[in-house]
Structure 1
Amino acid sequence: MGTENQGIFRLKCCVKNYDWGRVGKESSVAWLHAKNGGEVVRDDDPYAEFWMGSHDSGPSYVVVPVANGGSGDLVSLKEWIERNPAVLGDEVLRKWGPDLPFLFKVLSVAKALSIQAHPDKDLAAILHKQQPEVYKDDNHKPEMALAVTQFEALCGFVGIEELKRVLHDVPEIVEVVGSPCADQVLHMSKQDGEKNRKGVLQTLFTELMSVNKATISDVISNLISRLTRKREVTELTDKEQLVLKLENQYPGDIGVLAAFLLNYVKLNPGEALYLGANEPHAYIFGECVECMATSDNVVRAGLTPKHRDVQTLCSMLTYKQGFPEILYGVVSNPFTRKYIPPFDEFEVDQCILPQETSTVFPAVPGPSIFVVMAGAGTLCTASSEECITEGDVLFIPANIEITAASTSGMNLYRAGVNSHFFEPSHFAVPN
């Protein structure tokens, strides 16, 4: 089946009902999926993730146009791209083959996701070969979360001085890991070699995450009692308040204690956080647009009823310390901000169009996916026009200029291959 490499193609997309998702009509994911042609929203069900892409765990489907009108047939996006590889553009096809290199999502988070990390390509290949039922593919999964509402996350290890304060203020951690291990941390300094500092942090984190369930249950019970008493006489820190919330969601879980070791990040709408391979993180609350390399590989070790692989997680992390970089976006035009993480596979545009305004998305050498989060309007190419409204998801082939126009005000997000990937220097042959 061939297709013209000109046009706008509608996608029918997948929903994930993980138990951490927001419930019923409270979830943006729920109404996005319903308006995208999915099922009627069930008031008591959690709606966690809306997937837009070609991954086998949650494929999107192309609505293939028919000559005489009608809704057309549905073909999986992956199969459709394999039949029409020109839609990717030459550079994308050459680098990643006949598949979409990014996976686009909307997340609605009501309670914390697991403490987790995503493997790099080498480790992903090993894990997929060893446990294909757990690690579904052999790809890495760098990702970026762009806040739609206030959004909270744990991300990366706290710096040296904060880590020392944690061990001073949270005796329960010292009780679990032992005084000799804690003393190693307390005697660390910035003058120590980076390798030594990382080794000490790895030992601390591994000791903590490997404690047996009976011990951790007692220790966390003591922690909660201490914080409850403290709350009666003074205000708790943000991290202490978070720990009480996490324990309420995951009673007796080691992730409750581990949260003290990780940076507590609060994003305002329009701010983004990116995560490279082998970096620990956990989303806590809020709604975001997320983009990543096409993968579903997750190594978990806390705050989850799912499969845990503590040994793999503790051995794979970079143990880099310090607060993560926040992206604020680069203004492309009066209505659009571009978020460019340091990964080839993807970038994200946020476009907020007031009523009766329009903007142009220049032609790029790779594919794009647009999702309409709110409002209504049109998307136009040189040869076609589509009326769009909230819940619509659209695939745009490479090398096509798009004009977006709003009729009632419209919020759009676009995912595409990172602009830097197409710069000439990226393909320069070294001398």
Structure 2
Amino acid sequence: MEADGFPAPEEGMLVRLRCSVKNYDWGRIGRESCVARLYSSNTGEEVGEDTPCAEFWMGTHESGPAYVVGASRGSAVANGLSNGGGREKYSLTLKDWIQRNPTVLGDKVVKTWGADLPFLFKVLSVAKALSIQAHPDKDLAARLHKEQPEVYKDANHKPEMALALTDFEALCGFVSFEELKFVVQTVPEIGEVVGSAHVEQVLHVNEDEVDENAKPILKSLFTKLMSASKDVISQVISKLISRLNIKNEARELTEKEKLVLRLEKQYPGDVGVIAAFLFNYVKLSPGEALYLGANEPHAYLFGECIECMATSDNVVRAGLTPKNRDVETLCSMLTYKQAFPEILKGQALDSYTKRYSPPFDEFEVDQCILPPAATTVFPAVPGAFIFVIMAGEGTMSTASSNEVVVEGETVVEGDVLFAPANTGIAVSTITGLSLFRAGVKTCV
């Protein structure tokens, strides 16, 4: 049926999407950015040579909505692949279309999350560090949204996963207590900020007492560091950088020390520069992924990745950023777990496809790399998916629940497509094709 003049979807239909870009200053510049190339191909809009392109958003969040191509008000969505593109303006958001046609999500998704996509799909191109940040759990998100709706845009939590497209660097979670002891002994500038009492607390915890005492000690030290005045931090960082430059003449610096020098050039005098010593420095190779639950500190540093998360844009920041900081909230909300993050390698589904399935119900991501003259099939599942074509050219065909096959159409780099629930997808290529698919976890 139609609602408010909008057409209902046909079975076996894929819908092309026109997606949004974020030009944050930490993004890669112009055509060097994967985000820029995808956005330009997806929309037909040129990207300025000096424009930073940071994030390509594919979803329903109001801060960067996707639009249904060929389905602006009063027009019909075509059977099969809805064609469109170029500079045409679209007025029907994917969220509006889904709310008018909730069956496209599948009964299980609607029952659990309502008439909206529970996940947000992105591509990131990172030239310099993002903020030291964490994402609130649902209870905290609801409170923050109620108290500061202009800062915290929604009431949802935001577990997320970053899947590396290139070599990718991040800070993620706190270092082990053993490493924390090493840090406070070898980075005297931390002691200058937090005071000798905090340092002594760390050093006098015995190994068999770590589980009991580590969290409050780490929380106290971290809060003291992050809450220090700008003048104190600026003076201490000046000493730190001077000391590291002198050390560099006598020995090769550690990877963390080199990172700190790099961060200081990006964010001079920022508390995040010295706080980096407290976090795990994670390096991902292409095809590796890390995931983050609520209230876990992290900062993406460099590289390009696929990112998927629950549908939210809530970020609590406290360092390495010119944006709004909420140090008190961040320091109070963190779990203060001390462990290196789990790295996902992907589970092979067939010769061409790997699945990355973090411990969250809202999403999982498939990576598919098809060689020349190959075909693969994504079986019908009870939930909806979004596909993004990263490179190459191929054809995509659909089969509805009654096995009616819709004739395939060409897909190329930058195409983004919404696949309704219970729709099987066949992808084939002559020259090769790379794509990602995001959707609700299939076992939910």
TM-score when normalising by structure 2: 0.93
Distance 1:417 1:67 in 2: 25
- SS of alignment partner, residue 191 of structure 1: helix
CA shift, 1:189, in A, is 3.1
Call closer, same or farther: CA 1:66–1:417 in 2, change over 3 Å.
closer
Residue from 60, 63, 75 that aligns with 1:54: 60
Query: Structure 2 vs 1, CA of residues 357 and 131 (structure 1 numbering), >3 Å: closer, same or farther?
Result: same
> Does structure 1 retain, via aligned residues, the 8 Å contact 2:183–2:278?
yes
Q: Which moved more, 1:130-139 or 1:383-392?
A: 383-392
Corresponding position: 1:302 with 2:319: yes
Cα distance in structure 2, aligned partners of 1:33 and 1:248: 29
1:424 is aligned to none
Amino acid at match of 1:71: G
Farther-moved stretch of structure 1 (187-196 vs 376-385): 187-196
Query: Contact 1:5–1:86 (CA<8 Å) still a contact in 2?
Result: no
Structure 2 gaps, min length 5: 1-5, 400-404
Query: 1:13-412 counterparts in 2 under 5 A?
Result: 13-63=19-69, 64=71, 66=77, 71=84, 74-192=91-209, 194-382=211-399, 383-384=405-406, 385-412=408-435
Q: SS state of the match for residue 263, structure 2?
A: helix
User: Partners in 1 of 2:78 and 2:117 — Cα distance?
Assistant: 26
Tell me, in whole angstroms, the C-alpha distance in 1 between the residues paired with 2:255 and 2:442.
Answer: 37
**Does the Cα contact within 8 Å between 2:16 and 2:83 map onto a contact in 1?**
no
Residue ranges of structure 1 left out of the alignment (5+ in a row): 422-431
Aligned Cα root-mean-square deviation (Å): 1.3
- For the 8 Å contact 1:369–1:394, the answer to whether it is kept is yes
Secondary structure at the counterpart of residue 399 of structure 1: coil
Cα displacement (A) at 1:71: 3.4
For residue 237 of structure 2, give the secondary structure of its aligned residue in structure 1: helix
Determine helix, strand or coil for the equivalent of 1:420: coil
> 1:71-110, CA deviations, whole angstroms, 9 ceiling, x for partnerless residues?
3965100000000000000000000000000000000000
- Misfit runs of 4+, over 4 Å: 65-70
Deviation at 1:191, TM superposition (A): 1.6
Aligned counterparts of 2:230 and 2:143: Cα–Cα separation in 1: 29
Inter-partner Cα distance in structure 1 for 2:317 and 2:210: 29
Q: Deviations over 1:371-391 (max 9, x none)?
A: 000001011112322210000
Q: Secondary structure at the match of 2:396?
A: strand
1:420, CA displacement in angstroms? Answer: 2.6
Match of 1:10 in 2: 16
3-state SS in 1 of match to 2:57? strand
User: What secondary structure, in the 3-state scheme, does the structure 2 residue paired with 1:407 have?
Assistant: strand
Length-normalised TM-score, structure 1: 0.96
**CA spacing shift, 1:67–1:340, aligned 2, 3 Å:** closer
Q: Distance in 1 between matches of 2:284 and 2:308?
A: 16
- Cα distance in 1 between the residues matched to 2:36 and 2:265: 25
Contact residue 160 and residue 188 of structure 1 kept, 8 A: no
Q: 1:203-234: CA deviations, max 9, x gaps?
A: 01000000000000000000000000111111
Instruction: Give the match's secondary structure for 1:105.
Output: strand
Report % sequence identity: 67
Give the structure 1 partner of residue 402 of structure 2: none
The question of whether the paired residues in 1 share the 8 Å contact of 2:355 and 2:366 is answered with yes
Alpha-carbon contact 2:9-2:77 (below 8 Å) kept = no
